[in-house]
Homo-oligomer: A and B are copies of this chain.
């Protein structure tokens, strides 16, 4: 196991590998080679081995990786052996879609509280979650041991909400608002920005056939 800094892109790919072998485990496949896994994720064999190499030696020379073992190791590395409680701020169209999104449940990531600034939305129920005023965020964070947060509010409010989140003691933010958040050192933000992604695609559409389509 190397001591070098692990690129964030490696972490991101590890989740991809884990996702893939979880599917394979379901259909009872026992082993996989780096080249097979590289093909399935469109990433190549060397990338797979390099990424895993940051965390140890998981394979058997000549035979590949045991799916059961690799799955267990990746889950440990990626923190999937623990449960993570998530606060959702903003219960508009997107927020409620996220509440309904089954994908999170499967992954030991659990939205345990929802907040909104709009008085009309307070008290609304989504499954077993009741929408609360943002003023209660700090209290709930302590009570429910919340470590992750999702910002799904309009752009204009996102920075303020981020500050409230940080004051409440949460240090990880998934931001859906299309703004660049300013946060202190130590706070980790990841942005999900649909319209920008779609815009980037439109850039490629605009530049098809003028020599830029090979852009990578």
A93 interface residue per 8 A CB criterion:
yes
Supposing A6-B212, A101-B93 touch, asked if A190 and B201 sit within 8 A by C-beta, the answer is yes
Q: List 24 A-B contacts (CB under 8 A).
A: A5-B215, A6-B215, A8-B200, A12-B196, A12-B200, A16-B180, A41-B180, A42-B180, A80-B202, A84-B205, A86-B198, A93-B100, A93-B101, A96-B97, A98-B194, A107-B195, A108-B202, A148-B202, A148-B205, A172-B205, A174-B201, A188-B204, A190-B197, A192-B194
Chain A 162-194, CB-CB to B under 8 Å as 1, else 0, gives 000000000111100010101000101010101
Whether A203 and B11, one on each chain, are in contact in the complex, defined by CB atoms closer than 8 angstroms, is yes
- CA–CA, A106 to B155, complex, Å? 13
Name A's B-contacting residues (CB within 8 A): 5-8, 11-12, 15-16, 19-20, 40-42, 78-80, 82, 84, 86, 93-94, 96-98, 100-101, 103-104, 106-109, 147-148, 150, 171-174, 178, 180, 182, 186, 188, 190, 192, 194-208, 212-216
A175, closest chain B residue (CB): B197
Q: Which 10 A-B pairs have the closest CB atoms?
A: A79-B206, A97-B97, A172-B201, A93-B97, A93-B100, A103-B195, A84-B202, A188-B204, A147-B205, A190-B197
Inside 8 A of A42's CB, which chain B residues have their CB? 180, 182
A152, closest chain B residue (CB): B97
Give the number of times this chain occurs in the complex, counting copies: 2
Whether A194 and B15, one on each chain, are in contact in the complex, defined by CB atoms closer than 8 angstroms, is no
- CA–CA, A150 to B199, complex, Å? 12
Whether A200 and B15, one on each chain, are in contact in the complex, defined by CB atoms closer than 8 angstroms, is yes
- CA–CA, A188 to B107, complex, Å? 28
Inside 8 A of A201's CB, which chain B residues have their CB? 148, 172-174, 188, 190
Inside 8 A of A93's CB, which chain B residues have their CB? 96-97, 100-101
Inside 8 A of A82's CB, which chain B residues have their CB? 206
